[in-house]
């Protein structure tokens, strides 16, 4: 239906037509016309963040926990530049975002006007696509196209930069129907041939493994259901990247735990020794592969991905399958069932037996203490006390993030939100706010570090304003622990600027915001304190004082192969040895 | 033109440069603002080489532009470049014209040469031999216009150097596949 309206009205109309019920934003001169339209309606709820980076991460948390694109609205200049980290984060982790930025009026563009910046220029490298809207006539098409581009194919962030005069001028609005994109039409279904070949390779495998990633989550809940079906039909073991946790249940019988730099012994060794690797929606990132020339040397590899450029980028594969995970998995399940296929039982049993031996190493084990809270123990207790509430977990970045991935288990997709590709400290709290808004009745916990949380702590105000009962569970080790660990391993224990000096009193800080503060340092008191946090109907900052010098194991040191892991028991009494484990070449790597 | 290829991941051993190939890619794009910046940004951001780049609108009504880019890298890198380009939202189609080996490549150059007496004659003779046209002349200079494969132009420019080469303006490579079919 064609209607006459202003550009600003079109923005809000398009949001409604796209089914957006929520957007995160921060006003300023260049978006005031849009804010004025928001004032007059109630369908689209505006959440006022406290920093535009917070808006981007909150939109990510909303998107990842709901499967819908996240939307943010910010002003020109500093408003736009403040979103850069969030946009880059969303690009790296393939999260659908639509970011609307105000721009100075068209005739002032290029004149270094007040709060002008080259938003499309700056964001070109951190968006999937972006637009500068030069005429109100283009605006409806661009708005709808942006949602299409953000959510289809490999999802990602899209920026729409709208000059203020375009927001004021009047034009004809058209709805989202018949958005046919001229150039962008991702392929969803794989060729039947490829599917058949994949099924045959799977049936012939003796030591197979599924290696799955965030693509399965992004593909939607059906992909996870189909993955579970295929795993149970085949009886193959499965591991996943940090991004893919929850696609296959963490309590499932075939689950080997996460793989990669801080993955389990069994997952990494199985990846190294397998004869068939079935990569589903995962991209062979360097945190996963370790040393490339020693990566799973004896295996054939099938790679299912919607992004053709992810295939053969880092690791050459034998059978590329370009398509959407859900579509491809559905075809695989169908073929596997229809032809009653199965892998030979005897070698598969032997493979599982081998995996059982690796599992025996209990690579996530740690030496617990009754004097001081071990961070791993804190996550384990948090898991035990919250798992029955179908919680949503976000994290910041550091050791606590890895401990959360190792010791918190996810039985459903879209429950785990962490900054994987970019590793953005400050992600967790705004992401938790986004997740909480998508799931108002659910328990949402940000497992945080004391350093990371200070990067976007201002968003506590947002939580208070909208009565969002997010829980910030800080594993406070008084160190940028992950940095300290690397300094121990690589730089002779010279802890250059990694001590968290001059920390605030987190309990008082919580109270200053109007939240509840809880502190716990006694393992014996931990359960009670966690329960108090859960029971409190409102936001909480939980200052969990943990062992300061704990290292995160297992670990594949930089430049090493999957079967060359550092295990916790090795490190316990080997402070001296640790420094010599990584060679000079490994130190060059990140 | 750019720095040598950087490995795609910090974990890979530096790629040997022995198997570096030069490929010509034809990229059909929607002629929207910023599309060239996206293509060029892709090359600079990911450390790929650009040896030559030409771009012009080819179908005015349809807002279609054709970018011809000559790049070099290992076969794996070329494959990556191909798929990375394909992934850009406004890109219609990417064709590697070098793979088929059935493509024509041409470049136009204008070459300014300055000289008197014998050098003047030498320049004119060489120009004829290369089928270059004189498009501007003064008593002490010529401008030649020359079309051909890039190495033919290189050759011509090299020959002009001792004679009195002043400057060269080249268009970069335009390429098309042979036969009746479009790319
Ligand atoms: C924005 C940003 N800056 C710097 C880093 C590098 N970095 C990675 S982990 C880390 C330390 C995090 O400390 P903390 O939040 O206390 O977590 P811990 O490792 O102690 O659990 C740092 C500085 C980063 N990932 N992100
Ligand atoms: Mg810390």
pLDDT of residue B183: 86
Residues in chain B: 183
A401 and A538 share a domain?
yes
A62 and A113 share a domain?
yes
B8, B10, B29: residue with CB nearest A589: B10
CA atoms of B119 and B130, how far apart (whole Å): 16
Residues 6+ apart with CB under 8 A from A426: A53, A57, A85, A396, A452, A453, A455, A456
pLDDT of residue A155: 98
Among B30, B42, B89, which would you mutate to test the A interface (most chain A Cβ atoms within 10 Å of its Cβ)?
Answer: B89
Rounded to two decimals, what is the model's pTM? 0.95
pLDDT of residue B148: 97
Could you tell me which residue, A183 or B5, shows the higher pLDDT?
Answer: A183
pLDDT of residue A579: 53
Residue B58 has pLDDT above 90, yes or no: yes
Residue B5 has pLDDT above 60, yes or no: no
Q: Which CATH number is A169's domain given?
A: 3.40.50.970
Grade residue B9 by pLDDT with cuts at 50, 70 and 90: very low
Domain containing residue A24: 3-173
A389 and A348 share a domain?
no
Let me know if residue A369 belongs to a domain: no
- Please name which ligand lies nearest the alpha carbon of A402: 1
A538 and A456 share a domain?
yes
Nearest of A423, A213, A227, A243 to residue A306 by alpha carbon: A213
CA atoms of A531 and A122, how far apart (whole Å): 46
Atom number of ligand 1 nearest to Cα A398: 19
A154 and A73 share a domain?
yes
According to DSSP, the residues that pair with A25 across neighbouring strands are A48, A73
Q: What is the mean pLDDT of residues A176-188?
A: 87
B8, B37, B89: residue with CB nearest A184: B89
A386 and A330 share a domain?
no
Residues 6+ apart with CB under 8 A from A428: A394, A395, A396, A417, A418, A419, A446, A447, A448, A452, A453, A472
pLDDT of residue B60: 81
A474-526 pLDDT, tens digit per residue, is 999 999 999 999 999 999 999 999 999 999 999 999 999 999 999 999 999 99
pLDDT of residue A172: 97
Residues of A that are catalytic: 52, 114-115, 164, 482
Let me know if residue A559 belongs to a domain: no
Q: Find out whether A280 and A580 touch, Cβ atoms under 8 Å.
A: no
Grade residue B11 by pLDDT with cuts at 50, 70 and 90: very low
Could you tell me which residue, B117 or A432, shows the higher pLDDT?
Answer: A432
Let me know if residue A506 belongs to a domain: yes
A546-582 pLDDT, tens digit per residue, is 999 999 999 998 788 888 888 986 445 444 345 556 6
pLDDT of residue B18: 72
A378-421 pLDDT, tens digit per residue, is 999 999 999 999 999 999 999 999 999 999 999 999 999 999 99
pLDDT of residue B101: 67
Q: Find out whether A385 and A445 touch, Cβ atoms under 8 Å.
A: no
Atom number of ligand 1 nearest to Cα A423: 25
Let me know if residue A422 belongs to a domain: yes
* Arithmetic mean of pLDDT over chain A: 95
pLDDT of residue A573: 45
Nearest of A150, A71, A151, A51 to residue A430 by alpha carbon: A51
Grade residue A1 by pLDDT with cuts at 50, 70 and 90: low
A345 and A396 share a domain?
no
The distance of A63 to chain B (nearest Cα, Å) reads: 21
A77 and A135 share a domain?
yes
SS (HEC) of chain B: CCCCCCCCCCCCCCCCCCCCEEEEEEEEEECCCCHHHHHHHHHHHCCCCCCEEEEEEEECCCCEEEEEEEEEECHHHHHHHHHHHHHCCCEEEEEEHHHHCCEEEEEEEEEEEECCCHHHHHHHHHHHHCCCEEEEEECCEEEEEEEECHHHHHHHHHHHHHHHEEEEEECCCEEEECCCCCC
Which domains are assigned to chain B? 21-100 (3.30.70.260), 103-176 (3.30.70.1150)
A121:B37 CB<8 A: yes
Q: Which CATH number is A273's domain given?
A: 3.40.50.1220
Mutate to test the pocket of ligand 1, among A425, A499, A545 (most ligand atoms within 8 A of CB): A425
DSSP-assigned letter for residue A23: E
CA atoms of B37 and B33, how far apart (whole Å): 9
**A-B C-beta contacts closer than 8 Å:** 67
Residues 6+ apart with CB under 8 A from A490: A579, A582, A587
Let me know if residue A553 belongs to a domain: no
Residue B178 has pLDDT above 60, yes or no: yes
* Residue A401, SS3 per DSSP: helix
Residue A583 has pLDDT above 80, yes or no: no
Is residue A120 within 8 angstroms of chain B, CB to CB? yes
Let me know if residue A550 belongs to a domain: no
According to DSSP, the residues that pair with A98 across neighbouring strands are A71, A158
User: Cβ(A375) to ligand 1 under 6 A?
Assistant: no
A420 and A469 share a domain?
yes
Is residue B90 within 8 angstroms of chain A, CB to CB? yes
Atom 20 of ligand 1, residue of closest alpha carbon: A481
Nearest of B9, B89, B91, B28 to residue A154 by alpha carbon: B89
Q: Which of A23-37, A571-585, B24-38 has the lowest mean pLDDT?
A: A571-585
Residue B151 has pLDDT above 60, yes or no: yes
CA atoms of A86 and A72, how far apart (whole Å): 11
Q: How many angstroms from the chain centroid is the CA of residue A193?
A: 33
Distance B165 CA to ligand 2 centre (A): 65
Number of domains in chain A: 3
Q: Find out whether B100 and B183 touch, Cβ atoms under 8 Å.
A: no
A529 and A462 share a domain?
yes
Is residue A314 within 8 angstroms of chain B, CB to CB? yes
Is residue B61 within 8 angstroms of chain A, CB to CB? no
A305 and A380 share a domain?
no
Task: Give the CA count within 13 Å in the CB-facing half-sphere of A318.
Answer: 15
Let me know if residue A285 belongs to a domain: yes
Residues in chain A: 590
Among B11, B45, B84, B96, which would you mutate to test the A interface (most chain A Cβ atoms within 10 Å of its Cβ)?
Answer: B11
Match 């006007």 to its residue by tokens: A113
CA atoms of A265 and A376, how far apart (whole Å): 17
Handedness of CA A127, A133, A136, A142 (dihedral sign): negative
A281 and A405 share a domain?
no
pLDDT of residue A449: 98
Sort out which chain B residues have CB atoms less than 8 A from A312's CB and list them.
Answer: 76, 79-80
Nearest of A166, A6, A66 to residue A413 by alpha carbon: A66
Atom 13 of ligand 1, residue of closest alpha carbon: A480
Residue A555 structure tokens? 């670990």
pLDDT of residue A45: 98
Q: What is the mean pLDDT of residues A362-379?
A: 97
Residue A343 has pLDDT above 60, yes or no: yes
* Arithmetic mean of pLDDT over chain B: 90
Last residue of some domain: A511, A528, A545? A545
Distance A371 CA to ligand 2 centre (A): 19
CA atoms of A215 and A280, how far apart (whole Å): 7
CA atoms of A400 and A476, how far apart (whole Å): 9
Grade residue A179 by pLDDT with cuts at 50, 70 and 90: confident
pLDDT of residue A582: 67
The distance of A526 to chain B (nearest Cα, Å) reads: 41
Last residue of some domain: A333, A360, A387? A360
The ipTM, to two decimals, is 0.91
Q: What is the mean pLDDT of residues B35-64?
A: 94
Q: What is the mean pLDDT of residues A215-236?
A: 98
Match 């899209």 to its residue by tokens: A158
The CA-atom distances, in angstroms, between A436 and each of A391, A408, A477, A488 are: 10, 19, 27, 37
Nearest of A445, A433, A362 to residue A400 by alpha carbon: A445
pLDDT of residue A204: 98
Crossing angle (nearest 10°) for helices A526-535 and A375-386: 50
Let me know if residue A305 belongs to a domain: yes
């Amino acid at each position: 239906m064609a209607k006459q309206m202003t550009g600003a009205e079109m923005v809000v109309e398009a949001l409604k037509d796209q089914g957006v019920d929520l957007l995160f934003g921060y006003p300023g001169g260049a978006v005031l016309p849009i804010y004025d339209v928001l004032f007059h309606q109630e369908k689209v709820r505006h959440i006022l963040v406290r920093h535009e980076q917070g808006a981007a991460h909150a939109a990510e948390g909303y998107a990842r926990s709901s499967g819908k694109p996240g939307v943010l609205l910010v002003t020109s200049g500093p408003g736009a530049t403040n979103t850069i980290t969030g946009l880059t984060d969303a690009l790296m982790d393939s999260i659908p975002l639509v970011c609307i930025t105000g721009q100075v009026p068209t005739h002032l563009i290029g004149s270094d006007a007040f709060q002008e910046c080259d938003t499309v220029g700056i964001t070109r490298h951190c968006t999937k696509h972006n637009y500068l809207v030069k005429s109100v006539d283009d605006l409806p098409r661009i708005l709808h196209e942006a949602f299409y581009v953000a959510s289809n194919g490999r999802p990602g962030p899209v920026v729409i930069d709208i000059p203020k005069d375009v927001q004021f001028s009047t034009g004809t609005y058209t709805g989202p129907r018949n958005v046919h994109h001229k150039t962008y039409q991702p392929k969803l279904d794989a060729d039947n041939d490829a599917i058949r070949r994949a099924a045959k390779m799977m049936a012939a495998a003796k030591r197979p493994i599924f290696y799955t990633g965030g693509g399965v989550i992004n593909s939607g809940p059906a992909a996870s259901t189909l993955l579970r079906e295929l795993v149970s039909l085949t009886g193959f073991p499965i591991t996943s990247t940090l991004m893919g946790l929850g696609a296959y249940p963490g309590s499932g019988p075939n689950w080997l735990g996460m793989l990669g730099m801080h993955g389990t012994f069994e997952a990494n060794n199985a990846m190294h020794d397998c004869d068939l690797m079935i990569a589903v929606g995962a991209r062979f990132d360097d945190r996963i592969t370790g040393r490339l020339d020693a990566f799973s040397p004896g295996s054939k590899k099938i790679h299912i991905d919607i992004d053709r450029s992810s295939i053969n980028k880092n690791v050459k594969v034998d059978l590329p399958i370009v398509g959407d995970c859900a579509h491809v998995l559905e075809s695989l399940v169908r073929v596997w069932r229809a032809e009653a296929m199965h892998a030979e039982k005897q070698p598969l049993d032997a493979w599982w037996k081998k995996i059982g031996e690796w599992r025996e190493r209990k690579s996530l084990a740690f030496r617990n203490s009754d004097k001081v809270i071990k961070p791993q123990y804190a996550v384990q207790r948090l898991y035990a006390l919250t798992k029955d509430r179908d919680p949503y977990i976000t994290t910041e970045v550091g050791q606590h993030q890895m401990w959360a991935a190792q010791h918190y288990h996810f039985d459903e997709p879209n429950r785990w939100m962490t900054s994987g590709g970019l590793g953005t400290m400050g992600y967790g709290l705004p992401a938790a706010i986004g997740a909480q808004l998508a799931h108002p009745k659910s328990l949402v916990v940000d497992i945080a570090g004391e350093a990371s949380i200070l990067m976007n702590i201002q968003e506590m105000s947002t939580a208070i304003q909208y009565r969002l009962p997010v829980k910030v569970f800080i594993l406070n080790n008084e160190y940028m622990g992950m940095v300290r660990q690397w300094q121990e391993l690589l730089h002779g224990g010279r802890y250059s600027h990694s001590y968290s000096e001059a920390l605030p009193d987190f309990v008082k800080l919580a109270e200053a915001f109007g939240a509840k503060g809880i502190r716990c340092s006694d393992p014996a008191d931990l359960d009670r304190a966690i329960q108090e946090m859960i029971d409190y109907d409102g936001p909480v900052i939980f200052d969990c004082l943990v062992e300061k010098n704990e290292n995160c194991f297992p670990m594949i040191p930089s430049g090493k192969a999957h079967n060359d892991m550092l295990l916790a028991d090795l490190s316990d009494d080997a402070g001296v040895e640790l420094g010599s484990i990584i060679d000079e070449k490994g130190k060059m790597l990140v | 033109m750019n720095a040598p290829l950087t490995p795609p991941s910090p974990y890979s051993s530096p790629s040997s440069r022995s198997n570096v190939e030069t490929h010509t890619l034809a990229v059909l794009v929607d002629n929207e603002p910023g599309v060239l910046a996206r293509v060029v940004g892709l090359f600079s951001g990911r450390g790929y080489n650009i040896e030559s780049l030409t771009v012009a609108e080819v179908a005015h009504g349809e807002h279609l532009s054709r970018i011809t880019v000559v790049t070099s890298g290992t076969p794996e890198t070329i494959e990556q470049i191909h798929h990375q380009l394909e992934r850009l939202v406004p890109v219609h189609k990417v064709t590697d014209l070098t793979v088929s080996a059935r493509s024509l490549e041409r470049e136009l150059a204008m070459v300014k040469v300055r000289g008197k007496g014998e050098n003047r004659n030498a320049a004119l003779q060489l120009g004829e031999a290369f089928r270059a046209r004189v498009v501007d002349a003064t008593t002490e200079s010529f401008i030649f216009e020359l079309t051909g494969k890039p190495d033919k132009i290189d050759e011509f420019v090299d020959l002009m150097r001792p004679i009195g080469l002043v400057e060269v303006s080249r268009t970069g490579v335009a390429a098309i596949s042979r036969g009746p079919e479009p790319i």
